[in-house]
Amino acid sequence: MSSTTPTMAARHPQMAVPETEVLRLLRQRGSVRDYKPDPVPETWVEAILAAGQRAPTSSNVQAYSIVVVRDAGKKARLAELAGNQQHIIDCPVFFALCADQRRLTLACEQHGVVYQGQTLEQWLIASIDVALLGMSMTLAADSMGLGTVMIGGMRNQPLAVAELLELPQQVYVVFGLCLGWPKSAPLPKPRQPLGAVVHHERYDEGAVREAVAAYDGELGAHYTGQGRATPEAAWTKPMAEKFSKPIRAKLRQEMHARGFGLE
């Protein structure tokens, strides 16, 4: 397109944003931590897994695997390893979403070469692939009236999780995903204003500070409306408390133990 050709938005500055099902689902999306005991049909689970696979993947590497867990004993142990998260026990289906470089090693072996992907770049590619997979699965589940919540606590004790799920080397659980029927519709949590996260032509830290200050108040009002006690600085204070100390400080060593080089 020529640099002088006006964009669609420039030609139609007042063009109405179409109301699509995807936009509606994303506006209403919230994490579900309270599930009915009703099972999820196997065909629905398979449809969600297939939808996840349609997510973008770097160079068609598809550097992920999924362990589907329904066994009550295993879910109870996973809940314990994740910091005693009851919703892992209560959800009828739990997905362990794994970064997986094992298939790449097998592909290299098949063609008589040695896999040389023990690098930070390949670990990052696999982890990003998993994140995109998980979001696609979440959106698919939402569209079917199901609920989900992502469980980063799977990285609390990644070696124990890997042992429980019998993961081979070069595979680790990036996060978990609970799936089930919500007992009630989740209330979407307000996000930071666009001024805090969107920049035009350059990064504007002054606008970030202003927008984050406004968000402290908006999030506080949201929590207060739910009857939850909250500090006046509802976002910045919890963030400061959380990130003023190391989190999962042994994760690099644990990733090495799982066969990820990170060099």
**pLDDT category, 262, cuts 50, 70, 90?**
confident
- Contact between 192 and 211 under an 8 Å Cβ cutoff? The reply is yes
Model pLDDT for residues 1-58, shown as the tens digit of each residue:
444 555 555 566 678 999 999 999 999 999 999 999 999 999 999 999 999 999 999 9
Give the Cβ contact number of residue 224 at 10 Å: 12
Q: Output the average pLDDT for the chain.
A: 94
- Given this model, what pLDDT does residue 207 score? 95
- What per-residue string of b and e applies to 196-205 under the rule 16 or more CB within 10 Å gives b? beeeeeeeee
Helix 21-28 vs helix 120-143: angle between axes, to the nearest 10 degrees? 100
Model pLDDT for residues 156-198, shown as the tens digit of each residue:
999 999 999 999 999 999 999 999 999 998 889 999 999 999 9
- Given this model, what pLDDT does residue 263 score? 75
Per-residue tokens: 199: 């920049």
- Given this model, what pLDDT does residue 64 score? 98
Its pTM stands at 0.92
Locus of tokens 């998993």: 130
Instruction: Give me the sign of the Cα torsion angle 238, 243, 246, 248.
Output: positive
Closest CA to 173 of 155, 193, 149: 155
- Contact between 172 and 251 under an 8 Å Cβ cutoff? The reply is no
